[in-house]
Amino acid sequence: MVMSRKAATEPSKQVAPRRRGPVLERAILTAALEQLSTVGWRGLTMEGVASAAQTGKAAVYRRWPSKQALATDALQAALPAVPDVPDLGSLREDLLFLVLRMREAMYSQSGLALRAVIDESDHETAHCFVRMVVEGVVEPTKHRILEVVRRGVGRGEVRPDATGDIVADVVPALMMYRSKMGGREISEHDLVEVVDQVMLPLLRP
């Protein structure tokens, strides 16, 4: 059989692979996270997620009845991890290591997506996400900060009475304030100043 000249020169159409189960679900969750980090909560649509995941809208709705349910699962699967802080020999170096990792998480795809949801959703919707953020990010971060502070107490670099819960709120609160009110990305230099001009004077004996 001889192929026609037209058939021989036509480009073959790319057909998206048929995916099912966990593979398709991961693709949808990845697409939802990417959409949240770029177009935000208000711009997130089930149709947009379906298109980005190369699937049908019905496949998304069968698994998640609303964009809130979809965003919750997407964010839960991608919460930025709070790393252990190695003993670097001094309070300053330990704090710098931690705050720079916090900055990386804040500006990661999942960090941007989290802030978009909290900043743009209505109060009732935001309340659901705030609990997830507090339990999955805020509390583990505060735990790491207090670990570093207690390590400093053991070295004699920190006052024994400077291990209260309020101490762990200082860096996250400053980072969020500077980000929201300052209207610009927090730089590494900003965090060096937070450590040198705020945390060390606050904690020293």
pLDDT tens digits along 173-185: 998 888 878 777 8
Local confidence band at 11 (pLDDT 50, 70, 90 cut-offs): very low
Contact 196, 92 (CB under 8 A): yes
pLDDT tens digits along 150-166: 999 999 999 999 999 99
Contact 178, 186 (CB under 8 A): yes
- For each of the domains in the chain, give its residue range(s) and CATH number, in order of start: 21-76 (1.10.10.60), 91-203 (1.10.357)
pLDDT tens digits along 27-67: 999 999 999 999 999 999 999 999 999 999 999 999 999 99
Burial class (CB in 10 A: 0-12, 13-18, 19+), 184: exposed
Task: Give percent above pLDDT 90 in the chain.
Answer: 65
